[in-house]
Amino acid sequence: MRESKNYLQDLNPAQREAVETLYGPLLVIAGAGSGKTKTLVCRMAHLVEKGIPPEKILLLTFTRRAAKEMIERASLLLKRDFHKVTGGTFHSLCHTMLRQYGTLIGYSPNFTLLDRTDAEDLFNLLKTSLGLSDNKKRFPKKDTLANLYSKTLNQEKSLEELLDSEYPQFLEFLPEIQRLFVEYKIYKKEHQLMDYDDLLLNWLEILKNYPQIRDEMGKRFHFIMVDEYQDTNTLQGEIIKYMASTHQNVMVVGDDSQSIYRFRGANYRNIFDFPKIFPQTKIIKLEQNYRSTQPILDLANVIIANSKIKYTKTLFTLKKEGAKPVLFRAKDEAETSKFVVDKILELREKGIKLSQIAVLFRSAYHSYELEVELAKRGIPFVKYGGLKLLESAHIKDLLAFLKIILNPRDFLSWNRVLLLMEGIGPRTAEKIIQTLKREALPTSLNRILGLSPSHELKRWLELYTTIKPYEEESPSEILQKIWYFYEPLFQRIYSEDYHRRVKDLEGLFSLVLKYKSLDEFVSDLLLEPLEITELEGETLDEDPLILSTIHSAKGLEWHTVFILSLIEGRFPSLYSLKNTDDLEEERRLFYVAVTRAREKLFLLSPLMVYLPGEGKTFAKPSRFLTELPKTLYEEVNYTTPEEKSSHIKPVTENYMNTHYSTELSSTSSFKIGDFVKHPHFGEGEVLEVMGEKIKVNFISKGPTILHLKYTQLERLL
């Protein structure tokens, strides 16, 4: 950005209006690539320039990293210190507030935060203690129970409603599940534990029930800005209502067309309800796109125009020229992979870095075939949207040790730690925990050692009593001590692949050096878990190609984007076909994928896919493709680099004859199971051959009988 006196001149009229509207409720509908971050940064700077103290500003974003970057940019803009601006996620804000005000509802400042896996483990523990796992009939698993519990809070539905609509097979267990949920709440309160939902729920409870805290928040944060408002859930929307109630100086920025986290509890209707909660709301739309060429935006506009509920907007750009998006219908995923890799190599030869190219997909498994081809050709890549760092068992182990040090009454972590040790099973672990509940360490040391002869337990208890987390030891020193104890256990438990797992630990040791407080380090890991690839990516020699689920790609952009598996049942996903709201979210997901591309966009839709147990199966093109006017994209075929013709050439009437060695229609040409193409009906599968007639199941038309003498069919395989 330029020097401060010019920053307003850098804005387009809609952005400038949003920046200069300082008081009252403001809703900014920010289309993809429309400079919403720049708008937020400039508005923060403008507030301070107009005399608002930085400590009076609260900035809530989707990640704490994003908040930190925005605050730094605003600071550079005015060449002033902005470190007193409070920035972070809803969960990090609530976590901080509850450490300060949690005593009002019975929590001490050093409560332990449970991540999702911890919550699932606690459900399992309680399920066993209540005898619910002994049912002859199948009782819900721990992940299903955690899902149900979270949804009852975030979606404001009763347990019975949720079971009826999503898990009817468990309706018979309604009383047992209700009892389990009650026990879950009691256990957390007794043991000073909070899960992710509790952070929101408990802070909201304080805001609702303590008017003096609302007043205090209004004075403390006189200006509130919220990014990615379309991804907030019902509880977060309520928190904003109460925190802004005394002054209503709240600006929320979002794009209803990019709401893609319903599965996490996000309520995209929040963005439509905001003007109802704050009736004086001013609405500003940012429609000028600074990322993509107009041909890409034309495609995106048509995709989202079919959305049933939306704030109508049309993206436009000054970059009018550019290549049309490309649609390639390969015969199968193997050919798709060869096409994608050849195009990537071609782009690299033209000077486009691999890191400026992304291959996006709906689900992580859609890229497996491509990953094999990339490895074969020696192309480095990283994959996002896979395993989170905290989903790894060995990281969970280390974290359990650290949690015990911070909160000795975290008996869930005690249980995990004890079961790692040789000679200690569930019964002994339970006896040790009961002893710890009655009498804490070090007083109970001898009694605990008397319950088990485990040498590892003795070593751990001796170490535990020497660690002082709130005194002179740094988080790095504490982690090193824990590692020294844990390493032999780690090598024994994960003997098959501990060399691979140790890479994650190296990343963790690098990360902890940035922290002065162990509590802050553990809280950060739990509040915003890293993906394993975020630690691995730094070790590659060359900037890698990006493979990513679309959910993990949100907010990012690349020169060239490939979108895989645009077929029914994959994109849109199979489960979404049964529910209108889910299908609408799939459409928004496609819109997000398309708008990640700056210059080039490739849409891949194979004719056949491999399904386990079924072999190769005919694939129907995604409905999102069939809705698109053919004038908006170029459909191409593919030839190998060894062939003299160009890599890509437009589809012609004779394409199938030249590429797939097809034959003229005759009674001897076809057999049941062949995949064929008709000049008018398109692709289909042969169901029956009846002399001079043939029955074909066409994607566009369904089963059709044709006379071979009067039709021309081209065999694809």
Q: Which residues are known to be catalytic?
A: 36-37, 227-228, 258, 596
Find the farthest-apart pair of alpha carbons in the chain and give their distance in angstroms, rounded. Answer: 94
Q: Are 386 and 396 in contact, with CB atoms under 8 Å apart?
A: no
* Three state DSSP letters for 469-529: CCCCCCHHHHHHHHHHHHHHHHHHHCCCCHHHHHHHHHHHHHHHCCCCCHHHHHHHHHHCC
35 marked among binding-site residues: yes
Residue 397: which of 68, 121, 37, 77 has the closest Cα? Answer: 121
Residues 206 and 225: their CA atoms lie apart, in Å, by 21
Residue 555 annotated as part of some ligand binding site: no
Angular region, 14: left φ>0, alpha ψ -120 to 50, beta rest: alpha
Q: Which of 714, 650, 638, 637 is nearest to 679 (CA)?
A: 714
DSSP 447: H
Q: Two tokens at 155?
A: 């979606």
Residue carrying the six token digits 């005015």: 78
Q: Is 34 annotated as a binding residue?
A: yes
Six-digit token string for 123: 């459900």
- Measured N-to-C along each axis, helices 498-512 and 475-493 cross at an angle, to the nearest 10 degrees, of 170
β-bridge pairing 634-638 and 326-328: parallel
Q: Is 593 annotated as a binding residue?
A: no
**Is 53 in a helix, a strand, or coil?**
coil
Q: Is 37 annotated as a binding residue?
A: yes
DSSP secondary structure of 341-353: HHHHHHHHHTT--
Tokens of 206: 């304080």
Q: Say how far apart CA 263 and CA 282 lie, in whole Å.
A: 30
Tell me: is residue 320 an annotated ligand-binding position. no
Q: How far apart are CA 708 and CA 673, in angstroms?
A: 17
Q: Which helix (H) or strand (E) holds 219?
A: helix 211-220
The beta-strand segments (E) located in 582-713 are 597-604, 608-611, 615-618, 634-638, 648-650, 675-678, 682-690, 693-698, 702-707
Q: Which of 601, 625, 613 lies closest to 683 in space, CA to CA?
A: 625
For the chain, the helix, strand and coil percentages under 3-state DSSP, each to the nearest 5: 50, 15, 35
Numbered residues of the known binding site for ATP: 30-37
Numbered residues of the known binding site: 30-37
